[in-house]
Amino acid sequence: MNVSPRMTVALTLILGVGALAFLPWWGTVFDSRFPTSFELRIVLRVMIIAIVVIGLNILVGAAGLVSLGHAALYGFGAHVAALLAVNAGLGFVPGLIAAVLGTAVLGAILAYPSVRVRGVFLAVITIAFGLVFVNILREWVSFTGGASGIPGIPRGELFGMRLSPAQRDGFIYYYVVLFFLALAFALQYTLLFSRYGRAMRATSQSENASRALGVSVIRTRTLAFVISAGFAGLAGGLFTYLSLFVNYESFQFNQSIQFLLMTILGGAGTLLGPLVGAVTVFWATVLLQAFEEWQTFAFGLMLLIVLFAMPRGIVGSLQDLLARRGARPRMRETSDWPHWTPELEAVIRPIEGRPDAVLKLEGLTLRFGGLTAVDNVDLAARPGTVHALIGPNGAGKSSVINMISGFYKPAEGRILLMDQDVAGTDSAAMAAAGVARTFQNTELFGAMTVLDNVMVGFHSRYQSGLLRTLVRVPAARWEEAKMRRQALALLDFVGLTDFADERAGALPFGHQRRLEIARALALQPRILLLDEPAAGLTHGEIEDLIRLISLLAEKGLTILLVEHHVDMIMAVSDHVTVLDYGKVIAAGTPRQIQDDPRVIEAYFGHAAPGAEARAEAAGGTVDVSASAANRGAAE
Amino acid sequence: MGNNMQFLLSGLSIGGVYALVALGFSMMWSVARAANFTHGDIFMLGGVLTVAMFAAGLPLWAAAPLALVIAMVAAAAIERFLVRPFNKEANAIGWMLTTIAIGVMIESFATATYGPLPRPLPSPLAAEPIFVAGAGVFPQELLLPAVAVLAMLALYVFQRYTRTGQAIRAVATNRVAAGLMGIDADRITMFVFAAAGGLGALAGLLIAPVIQATTTMGLLIGLKSFMIAIISGITNPAGVVAVAIAFGVAERFIEGYLSTSARDAFGFTLMILVLLAFPQGIFGRKEVSKV
């Protein structure tokens, strides 16, 4: 049995909202005392908390970051709404907007400096913020009232209706909160299943691959936290207009831990997890009340048990169970590749204009401390050609690739992409500008599907911004469908169509290489950098790869190829540059290079006068990497 | 003038606490790229266990070392069972959650058994204040920054000149390569966590006679120390100790001239700003991410 996320959302919204909408009238319809106004208030509280947890779920489940300050963000939203209502007479709607925006801005201030270094540091910053926030609320009595808090917040009004949850007011506030919960739930879905959600998951799995695909890790993580903080602010504002009184007690560190527990217990990254988690933990709180001082202990213990026994949470574990029961094991079909289809014309296109070189390196130099890894390298890759970059191990080939793709900053020299100097540009920006690359050790988003891996590659090509994506305006839906078609075409191109919904990490090695190439092509690159694409492939796969590279060049793509495999270099490259100890020692056509004494010396050393003859005799099939490895061993 | 001297001296004392706890974070982070998030609770255990065992009739000379040993065993167990299994992949967050969970448990367990109130610990060095330029201070207080600096120097010598110390540096530099050279990286990591726990607990039992030990003293100290470690460049022990002591002194001055809440607000804002200006920390070097 497989329930699509779309169906989950639709069903939950219809059934859940329906049931919750009916709940207040249960007593009237069935003539019972249930639910009392006290019980309704509890449901209201849980709904508000669920909004916080939905926000936290986006942060933890998608972006893989931890916040231990969400109670404080929730409290911040509550205090913004409360202070504006009491001191400035602001009404419900503007107060709520201020709470959301204010908390989101605060989120940006907290997140940006910390996620720049390491995602983990965000957790430290958020706890610290939480503690300081409560301290300030407690001590700054003249502004926040200290322990006596801010009382006397006027009840909100909307279109002349009193926003009260009482029956005589038609439970109107109850429905307001329900509306926002449904909205939050729907937004969670549209976000997680959009390019932004994919980007968040991508950054949590491989920072390098994300950057190489034009996804800025810092921006994506900051965005995740800002959105998450916005949800907390919204919930805070709603809380203020429910309780009409705020003080620091509801927003302490323990509450942050509870929010986190709700997220993890429900199932981080799942759609229903936040709802299940919020209800379960809230219910547990009521039960644990009897334990008094041991209550906190029990929460710690619960969190620990969940992490050991059910790391995917209640909903995640159930999903796994359902998937396992419903799975029919089958062989997946690997198709022939490369497989060109007309669909691909839209993705792989010759570059506009006729520049004499797509990429030009001028005097490129890189130093690690005292070591010059790349020394004054010049190179020009002409449009629609394959330019090979070869050299013994440690010659600086990968360093050149890393500089072109923005991972390393060159010490000197220029990198001209379409005649524009881009040296030192950040890697994500380089990718967006059309420099695509693969990695020597494949870097896939292992827990994401094969299709989603390619979809991440399209990230920088979308036109629809965050708002349009979240609201799913027709243009955004159309765009998503178009990208999906192109992604499937790319999978078809490398023969992986049948694997589209498989986890990328479960692919055999050769298929991972193919996927990485398809993903890089999704950037619609001006130049494709392949870093030892043949390493680890079987003989047959290498022949397919050779055909793929030739085909791409024929279609007008420019390729810079780092490779050891001589057959492949001879077969596909139009031009070869040879590096040794970071310097260009030869450049020319494959033929010229093969006979160049300097190249032979670099690979075989001085004591190999017969090397040239041997290489000739073997028809040029000497495996250069093996010889280079020998040299490395001899040193 | 007397006031300023007072602020300086007590600032040095609290700075010494931060330094010892932050040094532990630095050590753990270097070898594991993770840490016991509630290292502050190990610090708390150092003080609280000493007080509890002393109250139970053990002489101080036995209670203090025993508390240290228990804290170190706890820290090692946390590494073995809560950090290691949850720190398998890059960007793992499991270890953060498990150590926070155990921290919450330790703290609430301690509060339930030891009591929520601070309890004093007698110490020969905290009986008579000495006077420096008109400011009264217990010798015990001055012990802390001295111990912190000594611990940092000892760590340096240990890592430089002993086999185990060199193994620690190897693991910190490249875990896989260290493993290939026959170093048991897991055991080294556990050892480092235990040692870090020992330093934290030492700070706890040394400060206990001055501030009285409570079960809640770990959270804030632990957290601030982690932040101090981050902003000073977490893998640089000398930088961590220097920044920690300076931070302690700065805190006391702000508290003295303004207020306690101003102290925390300033401290926090300062840390955010420092992180903005120096993403790798003040004394940190950029980790070259191998692609």
Residues of A (399-428) whose Cβ lies below 8 Å from B: 402, 407-408
Q: Say yes or no for a CB contact (<8 Å) between B100 and A68.
A: yes
Mean pLDDT for the stretch of residues A55-59: 97
* Structure-token match 């400035």, residue found: A88
CB atoms within 10 A of CB A591: 11
Q: Say yes or no for a CB contact (<8 Å) between A307 and B268.
A: no
* A466-471 contacts, C-beta under 8 A, 24 or more apart: A466/A196, A466/A223, A469/A190, A469/A191, A469/A194, A469/A195, A469/A196, A470/A187, A470/A190, A470/A191, A470/A194, A471/A190
Q: Say yes or no for a CB contact (<8 Å) between A128 and B271.
A: yes
Task: List, for residues A368-399, the tens digit of each pLDDT value.
Answer: 888 899 999 999 999 999 999 998 888 899 99
Nearest of A385, A85, A101 to residue A242 by alpha carbon: A85
CB atoms within 10 A of CB A324: 8
Instruction: Give the integer Cα–Cα distance in Å for B249 and B255.
Output: 10
User: Are A300 and B104 contacting, i.e. CB atoms less than 8 angstroms apart?
Assistant: yes
ipTM: 0.88
When CB atoms are compared, the residue of A136, A300, A398 closest to B102 is A300
Which residue in chain A is spatially nearest to B98 when comparing CA positions? Answer: A304
User: Are A516 and A442 contacting, i.e. CB atoms less than 8 angstroms apart?
Assistant: yes
Q: Does B252 touch chain A (CB under 8 A)?
A: no
User: Are A276 and A314 contacting, i.e. CB atoms less than 8 angstroms apart?
Assistant: yes
Rounded to two decimals, the pTM is: 0.89
User: Are A112 and A218 contacting, i.e. CB atoms less than 8 angstroms apart?
Assistant: yes
Q: What are phi and psi of A66, to 5 degrees?
A: -115, 135
A235 Cβ neighbours under 8 A, 6+ residues apart: A48, A49, A51, A52, A55, A74, A77
Q: Does B216 touch chain A (CB under 8 A)?
A: no
Residue A583, both tokens: 């310097």
Model confidence at A633, pLDDT cuts 50, 70, 90, reads very low
CA distance B112 to chain A (A): 6
Nearest of B35, B11, B13, B12 to residue B23 by alpha carbon: B35
Which residue in chain B is spatially nearest to A131 when comparing CA positions? Answer: B220
- Residue A258, helix vs strand vs coil: helix
Mind listing the domains of chain B with CATH numbers? 2-277 (1.10.3470)
Instruction: Give the integer Cα–Cα distance in Å for A197 and A223.
Output: 10
Instruction: Give the integer Cα–Cα distance in Å for B12 and A393.
Output: 53
Q: Say yes or no for a CB contact (<8 Å) between A131 and B280.
A: no
Instruction: Give the integer Cα–Cα distance in Å for A288 and A272.
Output: 24
Task: List, for residues B137-182, the tens digit of each pLDDT value.
Answer: 888 888 999 999 999 999 999 999 999 999 999 999 888 899 999 9
Q: Which residues pair with A158 in a beta bridge?
A: A161
Q: Using alpha carbons only, how large is chain A's radius of gyration in Å?
A: 30
Angle at A615 between CA A613 and CA A620, to 5 degrees: 140
Question: Which run of H or E residues covers position A582?
Answer: none
Nearest of B42, B98, B51, B95 to residue B70 by alpha carbon: B42
Instruction: Give the integer Cα–Cα distance in Å for B234 and A621.
Output: 50
Which residue in chain B is spatially nearest to A398 when comparing CA positions? Answer: B291
Per-residue CA distances from A412 to A367, A369, A415 (Å): 9, 14, 10
- Where are any strands of DSSP class E within A422-544? 435-437, 527-531
Task: List, for residues A15-36, the tens digit of each pLDDT value.
Answer: 999 999 999 989 888 988 888 8
Task: List, for residues A156-215, the tens digit of each pLDDT value.
Answer: 888 888 888 888 888 999 999 999 999 999 999 999 999 999 999 999 999 999 999 999
- For residue A449, the model assigns a pLDDT of 95
CA distance B180 to chain A (A): 17
Residues of A whose CB is below 8 A from B259: 139
Does the structure show a pLDDT above 60 at B216? yes
Q: Say yes or no for a CB contact (<8 Å) between A125 and B280.
A: no
User: Are A588 and A599 contacting, i.e. CB atoms less than 8 angstroms apart?
Assistant: no
* Structure-token match 């050393």, residue found: A605
- For residue B288, the model assigns a pLDDT of 58
Q: Say yes or no for a CB contact (<8 Å) between A60 and B93.
A: yes
End-to-end CA distance of chain A: 60
Question: Which run of H or E residues covers position A421?
Answer: strand A420-421
The CA-based dihedral angle spanning residues B233, B238, B241, B243, taken in that order and rounded to the nearest 10 degrees: -50
Domain ranges of chain A: 5-29+36-254, 355-444+524-634, 449-506
Residues written for chain B: 291
CATH 3.30.300.10 fits A355-444+524-634, yes or no: no
- What distance lies between CA B284 and its chain's CA centroid? 18
Q: Does A307 touch chain B (CB under 8 A)?
A: yes
CA distance A290 to chain B (A): 14
Residue A52, both tokens: 């916080």
- What distance lies between CA B71 and its chain's CA centroid? 12
- Residue A528, helix vs strand vs coil: strand
> Over the range A464-498, which residues count as b (16 or more CB within 10 Å of their CB) and which as e?
beeebbbebeeebeebbeebeebbbbbbbbbbbbb
Residues of B (102-161) whose Cβ lies below 8 Å from A: 102-105, 107-109, 111-112
Model confidence at B290, pLDDT cuts 50, 70, 90, reads low
Q: Say yes or no for a CB contact (<8 Å) between A136 and B265.
A: yes
- For residue A612, the model assigns a pLDDT of 47
* Structure-token match 């919930």, residue found: A235
Model confidence at A629, pLDDT cuts 50, 70, 90, reads very low
Q: Say yes or no for a CB contact (<8 Å) between A128 and B280.
A: no
CA distance B210 to chain A (A): 23
Q: What percent of chain A has pLDDT over 90?
A: 63
Q: Does A208 touch chain B (CB under 8 A)?
A: yes
User: Are A398 and B291 contacting, i.e. CB atoms less than 8 angstroms apart?
Assistant: yes
Nearest of A534, A539, A456, A450 to residue A492 by alpha carbon: A450
Q: Which residues pair with A371 in a beta bridge?
A: A368
Question: Which run of H or E residues covers position A134?
Answer: helix A119-139
Task: List, for residues B29-59, the tens digit of each pLDDT value.
Answer: 999 989 998 899 999 999 999 999 999 999 9
Residues of B whose CB is below 8 A from A117: 230, 275, 279-280
- For residue A428, the model assigns a pLDDT of 93
Task: List, for residues A228-274, the tens digit of each pLDDT value.
Answer: 999 999 999 999 999 999 999 889 888 998 999 999 999 999 999 99
Mean pLDDT for the stretch of residues A620-635: 41
User: Are A435 and A361 contacting, i.e. CB atoms less than 8 angstroms apart?
Assistant: no
Q: Say yes or no for a CB contact (<8 Å) between A140 and B261.
A: yes
Residues of A whose CB is below 8 A from B272: 109-110, 113, 125
User: Are B22 and B241 contacting, i.e. CB atoms less than 8 angstroms apart?
Assistant: yes
When CB atoms are compared, the residue of A119, A296, A303 closest to B97 is A303
Residues of B whose CB is below 8 A from A119: 91, 93
Q: Which residues pair with A579 in a beta bridge?
A: A584
